[in-house]
Amino acid sequence: MTGSILIVDDNEELLIALRMLLSDVFGHIDTLRHPRRLLRQLDTCEYDLVLLDMNFGTETPTGNEGLYWMGRIFERKPAPSVVLITAYSDVEPAVQGIKNGAVDFILKSWDNEKILSAIQSAYRLHCSGRKIDTLQQKQEHLAGDIDRQHAFYRGVSPAMAEVYRMIEKVAPTGANVLLLGENGTGKEVLAREIHRLSARRTDIFVAIDMGSIAESLFESELFGYRKGAFTDAKTSKAGRFELASGGTLFLDEIGNLSPAMQQKLLAVLQNRQIVPLGALHPVNVDVRLVCATNADIHRLVDEGRFRRDLFYRLNTIVIEIPPLRSRREDIPGLAHFFADRYQLKYAKNIHLSDAAIASLTRGNWPGNIRELKHAIEKAVILADSDTIDGITPEDRRTAPASAPESFNLEENERHIIQAALRYSAGNVSDAARKLGINRSTLYEKMKKYGM
């Protein structure tokens, strides 16, 4: 027996009968003969349900007393669910009570089976609501953790001040946003900042790297599928659009989409509907779209490699993120920002010296903020003292060309892929572009060579 219930009725015999009837259903039962003590009782004990009479000693049963006290119950946070007790003659006020928030009502005609069914259903509904509240709290907690992991440093440079001014203006509007910038400039972090400042902040943020999706998996990943849609579809799966409905969907590397994928995405944006694989009917979706690319999207449009109509759908607002080399005044702040994060993560107590900051500011960072972040993380891990005196970008100078030690094609391919990944600071999209292959092909080769 679980759950607690408070029964409020001025009929002593009814209270006794209800207590006996519900004793096998609820672990804790309290009774009151008048609602005057109701609020004090709610302060002393937390109830799942309140079984509340609608009339207390009035000659004309209007039900107004019950509606009044129900309203006072709902002022409590968290409030118990309410089931009203009424007679045949005042069913209409009970219906009004349900409109005002009551879960159900029971009649004083005394049908044990109906009373038990109504109260047990009300209790199950209350428990379901409590689980939903708990899940929402967990989601908010997880979202807070994720926000902290992707914390945003605004910087002091005029260039970033202009970027953030645009974000603050655009975020509340719900308009689609296209973020342009080199690899490592922080496009996903800015997308999350747009979501955090929007009216959708309490809902989900879903990110997907379009460059990592093979064309054959595009529909199943973005639109989902129903059980039995194909051989391995043993259960239904929601796609990214359906998961993000009500929130923000971030599509990274949008410039890597093939013409066929572009057409399917355009259809979704036009109709605001998706059709999961194997589904008979379309599903409405409500997403705020934020896209990003490091490609020259305008050139791709001019060359016919990116649909112009899709481009106009995506770029309601375009925000260009400057590379780190054009805002060097932000490097000291970013350096301290990342040093604080990683000394906490790795349980170290260190600080960056003036010499370290100077070397960072002078350095060349082709990998932008991502490369700077990785360099500082590495320095924090390897630090032997509480002061870091110098950090420089990774030395990418290559040795003079010479004949390879081996002419084995696979062995040299492995070395070339490793070199491209090192040069790109671990950024797979950048490495794939340098190698002249798409990202999914690079992933297959990395898997093949155990990288």
C-alpha–C-alpha distance, residues 142 and 134, integer Å: 12
- The structural domains of the chain, ordered by start, are 4-131 (3.40.50.2300), 150-322 (3.40.50.300), 326-388 (1.10.8.60), 409-448 (1.10.10.60)
Q: How much is the pLDDT for 231?
A: 84
Q: What is the pLDDT of residues 289-305, one digit of tens each?
A: 999 999 899 999 999 99
Q: How much is the pLDDT for 86?
A: 84
User: pTM (2 decimals)?
Assistant: 0.62
Which residues of the chain, if any, have pLDDT below 70?
1, 57-61, 88-90, 134-150, 392-408, 410-411, 425, 450
Q: How much is the pLDDT for 106?
A: 86
Q: What is the pLDDT of residues 229-251, one digit of tens each?
A: 888 888 888 999 999 999 999 99
C-alpha–C-alpha distance, residues 222 and 234, integer Å: 18
Q: How much is the pLDDT for 331?
A: 94
Q: What is the pLDDT of residues 115-135, one digit of tens each?
A: 888 888 888 888 888 777 766
C-alpha–C-alpha distance, residues 79 and 101, integer Å: 11
Q: How much is the pLDDT for 300?
A: 92
C-alpha–C-alpha distance, residues 265 and 291, integer Å: 12
How deeply is 266 buried, as exposed, middle or buried, from its count of CB atoms within 10 A (0-12, 13-18, 19+)?
A: middle
